Structure 1
Amino acid sequence: MTNVDAKPPTTSPTHLAPEGLQAHLVVDHTPFRLDITVTATPGEVLALLGPNGAGKTTALRALAGLTPLAAGHLHLDGTDLHRTPPESRPVGVVFQDYLLFPHLTALDNVAFGPRCHGATKPQARAQAAEWLARMGLTDHASTKPRHLSGGQAQRVALARALATHPRLLLLDEPLAALDARTRLEVRAQLRRHLADFEAVAVLVTHDPLDAMVLADRLIVIEHGSVVQEGTPSEIARRPRTDYVAQLVGLNLYKGTAEGHTVHLEAGPTLTTTEDLKGPVFVAFPPSAVTLYRDRPTTSSARNLWRCEVAGLETHGDQIRAALSGELPLTADLTTVAAAELDLHPGAPVWATVKATQTHAYPA
């Protein structure tokens, strides 16, 4: 198991300041073990991204105090929360299914938090009314959850979490329960609300678009460990695992560079524009791959492999071809091109990629 604490810090020096979140989360559920370091500054939105079973929700529950730590630490604004019970932590949570009280109106759902923190009923309802107004839900104050749309319920849950003025806001797959059309609208609304939040927000998601749009920084978790972290643009441009490469839609390979030539672990070589030496990653988009049924004689591409079509699927307005052979890779082409090439599973093809369309970087 990699000890992520032993890694040199990859965040800016401000992440070492007393304010904000500094946590080393170790949770041991044999055979699964979570061991990650999470830091964030006030005003920052951090996304924990990873496949199902990676440990994202376990990390969120540990931050909320719902899952005990086996080791490590949890500091928020300089205060040790390791032994603080969940109900006493300055933490707001928006659960995946929102968990609104079905017998309470939207107003009273939001007022519940302030009431638990000592506000009188009139005070709590006044605060709740302000939060519903911020969310554009004043007209739904007397509505019960079963009569709210998915987007409205999500905003009520967010208002309820924010009404207690938390120093840490946790969002567990906050858009997962929404249909595609509602998700687009609510994602934009959520981004605006998070931009106004002055404390730390941690978002758990398996959706790369949610993470890229909502977060300032990403931590990618696989098998209970951090495999990559950085800004959305850094993650998208330089993936370091197959999972991340698939998320951002790139072909990714690891090899050893000698100048412009990379000897891939998968077998063949790749020519790149970068002049590097030593272990590297090479990435390129599926759109960079050109397919031919016969070996091309006029192509200027430096990279050429004999492949076989392993599968075809619709990808937006294009066809995505999974290729096996000398170099397993993914190619995107138009439906017209796919028809002209008579592509079908088992069809032999030649694949080319120009060196100028590859991107190599140190591993």
Structure 2
Amino acid sequence: MTDLDDTTPDATAEHTRGEGLDAHLVVDHDTFRLDITLTAAPGDVLALLGPNGAGKTTALRALAGLTPLTDGHLRLDGTELDRTPPESRPVGVVFQDYLLFPHLSALDNVAFGPRCQGATKTEARAQAADWLDRMGLADHAGAKPRRLSGGQAQRVALARALATRPRLLLLDEPLAALDARTRLEVRAQLRRHLAEFEAVAVLVTHDPLDAMVLADRLVVVEHGQVVQEGTPADIARHPRTDYIAQLVGLNLYKGQAEGHTVRLDAGPAITTTEDLTGPVFVAFPPGAVTLYRDRPTGSSARNLWRCEVAGLETHGDQIRADLAGELPLAADLTTVAAAELDLHPGAPVWATVKATQTHAYPT
């Protein structure tokens, strides 16, 4: 007989520690090296963000078993998967282009996984019908992929991945193939389905909105390394690289703080409301920048820089001005304001930002 006093608490704690994803992915490929650590508990949605070539897809392929690890480890719910072939891993994948079998109906596409796991045709189809019903696609069970809209195909691909009851769900740019209108609707549906998913989900995307809406935690990868991770809110408020700052729409600078003044490593000083000492980042949104053609005399802004318009582009319903000069920065303004200021490449401007609209934080 087992002594419960000796085993139960430790066994429970060990089981809890072993649940979910515990991965150290090291992959060497020609001159590129991926070396990242990923951990997630069951129910977590983890988003991998990064520029092209950062290593996101390599990480996803390593998790799926399609790319072998050079070093490191991959454990899922305490089980080592390093040498487990892809078809034997409890992993579901939704590819960017969905890869539905064109000759099979939606029902049989979804039933494919359960059939591979040993279910009878009748059992597999019953499970598939249930998943299509959950996705709101019961009326499209007999449709071939070519008869489905982009949003419908995405949901069939998700149902096919979930029908195998994976312990790890991998989503490779799952909304990239959709038009803007469909993307909005499907993103909301995907968020609901991921919220109901009880295992670990890893989402690869370059779209910050997809990541912010769908994920519990973001892992930002650049040059094969993790450069920042945290909640969407934390990363949006405290970007630590230029890529992340651009992703969340902030001007970002690095410098040395002395009280309320930050002397930038490259550029002038910035006045902030935070009282800090030592190396810091300073960030502010393009919308915090006010532009003038002549040096302002009545402005209460503590930060004032002489700049030149390097470029203009439409950004949503506004105009984004790319400014060079004392402090390179981006500024957002309305089309009316841009016209009144007669902005054009090469135009001299003065840029102001109030100290209250800046945010400084330690590096």
- TM-score range, shorter-chain basis? over 0.9
| Bigger Cα displacement from structure 2, 274-283 vs 335-344 | 335-344
In the aligned structure 2, how far is the partner of 1:270 from the partner of 1:353? 9
1:211 aligns with 2:211: yes
The equivalent of 1:28 in structure 2 is: 28
The equivalent of 1:9 in structure 2 is: none
The equivalent of 1:5 in structure 2 is: none
In the aligned structure 2, how far is the partner of 1:260 from the partner of 1:180? 43
1:164 aligns with 2:194: no
1:297-322 deviations in whole A, cap 9, x for unaligned? 11111111100000011111111100
1:309 aligns with 2:304: no
- Code of the residue aligned with 2:275 in structure 1: it is D
The equivalent of 1:326 in structure 2 is: 326
In the aligned structure 1, how far is the partner of 2:40 from the partner of 2:341? 50
In the aligned structure 2, how far is the partner of 1:283 from the partner of 1:121? 58
The within-5 A match list for 1:77-226 is 77-226=77-226
What is the CA-CA distance between 1:336 and the residue it aligns to? 1.3
The secondary structure found in structure 2 opposite 1:17 is helix
What is the CA-CA distance between 1:265 and the residue it aligns to? 1.1
- Code of the residue aligned with 2:140 in structure 1: it is H
1:285 aligns with 2:285: yes
Unaligned segments of structure 1, at least 5 residues: 1-12
The equivalent of 1:43 in structure 2 is: 43
In the aligned structure 1, how far is the partner of 2:81 from the partner of 2:111? 25
In the aligned structure 1, how far is the partner of 2:220 from the partner of 2:187? 20
What is the CA-CA distance between 1:15 and the residue it aligns to? 12
What is the CA-CA distance between 1:16 and the residue it aligns to? 8.2
In the aligned structure 1, how far is the partner of 2:284 from the partner of 2:345? 23
Unaligned segments of structure 2, at least 5 residues: 1-12
The secondary structure found in structure 1 opposite 2:43 is coil
1:1-59 deviations in whole A, cap 9, x for unaligned? xxxxxxxxxxxx99982100000000000211100000000000000011111100100
In the aligned structure 2, how far is the partner of 1:347 from the partner of 1:199? 55
Q: Is the 8 A contact 1:258 1:277 kept in 2?
A: yes
The secondary structure found in structure 2 opposite 1:320 is strand
In the aligned structure 2, how far is the partner of 1:92 from the partner of 1:189? 18
In the aligned structure 1, how far is the partner of 2:293 from the partner of 2:202? 49
The equivalent of 1:10 in structure 2 is: none
1:146-180 deviations in whole A, cap 9, x for unaligned? 11000000000000000010000000000001011
Q: Is the 8 A contact 1:268 1:326 kept in 2?
A: yes
The secondary structure found in structure 2 opposite 1:361 is strand
* Percent of aligned pairs sharing the same letter: 87
The equivalent of 1:343 in structure 2 is: 343
In the aligned structure 1, how far is the partner of 2:196 from the partner of 2:349? 52
Please give the root-mean-square deviation of Cα atoms over the aligned residues, in Å.
1.3
1:166-212 deviations in whole A, cap 9, x for unaligned? 00000000000101110000000000000000000000000000000
The within-5 A match list for 1:242-261 is 242-261=242-261
The secondary structure found in structure 2 opposite 1:164 is coil
Q: Cα–Cα, structure 1 residues 212 and 155, in superposed 2: closer, same or farther, change >3 Å? A: same
In the aligned structure 2, how far is the partner of 1:14 from the partner of 1:172? 31
In the aligned structure 2, how far is the partner of 1:142 from the partner of 1:343? 57
Q: Is the 8 A contact 1:26 1:69 kept in 2?
A: yes
In the aligned structure 2, how far is the partner of 1:121 from the partner of 1:169? 24
Q: Is the 8 A contact 1:280 1:361 kept in 2?
A: yes
In the aligned structure 2, how far is the partner of 1:321 from the partner of 1:14? 55
Q: Is the 8 A contact 1:74 1:81 kept in 2?
A: yes
1:65 aligns with 2:93: no
In the aligned structure 2, how far is the partner of 1:333 from the partner of 1:16? 51
